[in-house]
Amino acid sequence: MLLTVTLGCLAVVSCLLSFWQWLVARRFPLHKRGPVPPSSQAVTLLKPLKGCDETTEACLRSWFEQEYNGPVQLLFGVASAQDPVCEVVRKLMEEYPGQDAHLILCDPLAGTNLKVAKLALLEARATAELLVISDADVKVPPDLLVNVVAPLVQPEVGLVHCFYRLANPVSSAMRWEAVAINVDFWSQVLQSRSLKPLDFALGAVMATRRTWLSKTGGFAALADCLADDYQLGNRIAKRGGKIVICPVVVECWSAPMTFCQVWNHQLRWARTIRVSQPWPYFLSILSNATVWPLLWLALQPGWLSGALALWCLGWRMWVARDLQERLTERTPKPSLAVFAILKDLLQAGIWVMALLGNRIEWRGERLRLRRDGTLVKT
């Protein structure tokens, strides 16, 4: 009896948390743009690269086509001159000869996180005070730079970052991941912000000043960290910098992934969050509005548990549709409802696995994640 009552309470709590998550997401001014100033400060883009696929050129081109009224330096870092992405960068540099763009061979690389090792070398080549850091697979709208650096005119702002959406969920496994990113992740970030000021960053696109970056020790201090975006935001916040979310949404274009690849990615993500924020991650299972009602129904079949389970599942599917449409500005496919339920069930398994281990797979390597968020090769 105690177990069934507890599960019933957890089912109600999960729906209330889901409603809170939806409410704060609805109130955020997503996609809102600011005015374009007549002139702007110089900006340096730091873009570490490795490999390429059919979407790489479009993603990189979006940075060459920024509508920004100020000097822009584009620094692209690679670990090898034989990397196929070099040809893509050279092609774009020829197409846009007026751009201050440079392809930089980053060698030698120091640290376990090779992306951050590239950033440390690119940082030394930057000429501007304003720095924008972006992942390789990110495609941005033409007005992104204007909007992402605008809050940095306020001296208390230490870092600005953006929400992102998975733009090409081409397989069933990727549609599961799309629910995690396009529905839950951004709304959970806003839920966290409603409790306290943000003390972490999202790494798709980040903007900061060299002065704030230097206070944290620069990218060299993050060379062994897995969640370098979280660590950078956290260290800036600890030094008094305000973390701001830019309402402009960017796109992440991923190579096709199998179920196993998505599982490993989600597990790596979960273990990273668990190490970075142990208690919030442990309590995150409470907001799973699918698992708790179904568990209650399984252990206490009846009209009350059945009605609540149906209501919770219906609410979950409606919220998933509403939040994805809000982030992507597109009408979701009907199958989204099914994938939202499936994602919740799989996420419960991910949650358990994240608590039971600290091994991850990342870019073909097996690594061990320490409690401080640093990596060790196994």
Strands, sheet with 375-377, edge to edge from the N-terminal-most edge strand: 359-362, 365-369, 375-377
Instruction: Give me the pLDDT at residue 216, please.
Output: 94
Q: What is the mean pLDDT of residues 251-274?
A: 91
Instruction: Give me the pLDDT at residue 108, please.
Output: 83
Instruction: Give me the pLDDT at residue 206, please.
Output: 98
Q: What is the DSSP string of 8-72?
A: HHHHHHHHHHHHHHHHHHHHS-TT--PPPPSS---EEEEEE-----TTHHHHHHHHHT---SS-E
Q: What is the mean pLDDT of residues 119-123?
A: 95
Q: Is the pLDDT of residue 109 over 70?
A: yes
Q: Is the pLDDT of residue 38 over 70?
A: no
Determine the Cα–Cα distance for residues 117 and 113; give it in Å rounded to an integer. 6
Determine the Cα–Cα distance for residues 378 and 360; give it in Å rounded to an integer. 10
Instruction: Give me the pLDDT at residue 254, please.
Output: 87
Q: What is the mean pLDDT of residues 242-255?
A: 95
| Local confidence band at 215 (pLDDT 50, 70, 90 cut-offs) | very high
Q: What is the mean pLDDT of residues 77-99?
A: 96
Q: Is the pLDDT of residue 373 over 90?
A: no
Could you read off the pLDDT of 307-349 as tens digits, one per residue?
999 999 999 999 999 999 999 999 999 999 999 999 999 999 9
Q: What is the mean pLDDT of residues 303-310?
A: 91
| Local confidence band at 292 (pLDDT 50, 70, 90 cut-offs) | very high
Higher pLDDT, 129 or 366: 129
Q: Tell me the domain boundaries of the chain.
A: 43-169+197-249
- Of 108-112, 137-141, 161-165, 248-252, the least confident: 108-112
Instruction: Give me the pLDDT at residue 89, please.
Output: 97
Q: Is the pLDDT of residue 196 over 80?
A: yes
Determine the Cα–Cα distance for residues 61 and 93; give it in Å rounded to an integer. 10
Q: What is the mean pLDDT of residues 348-366?
A: 86
Q: Is the pLDDT of residue 112 over 90?
A: no
Q: Is the pLDDT of residue 179 over 80?
A: yes
Instruction: Give me the pLDDT at residue 360, please.
Output: 83
Residue 51 gets the label, from left (phi > 0), alpha (psi -120 to 50) or beta, of: left
Q: What is the mean pLDDT of residues 170-197?
A: 94
Instruction: Give me the pLDDT at residue 368, please.
Output: 84
Q: What is the mean pLDDT of residues 126-147?
A: 96
Q: Is the pLDDT of residue 151 over 90?
A: yes
Specify which residues 377 forms β-bridges with. Answer: 367
Q: Is the pLDDT of residue 146 over 70?
A: yes
Fold of the domain built from segment(s) 43-169+197-249: Spore Coat Polysaccharide Biosynthesis Protein SpsA; Chain A (3.90.550)
Q: Is the pLDDT of residue 39 over 70?
A: no
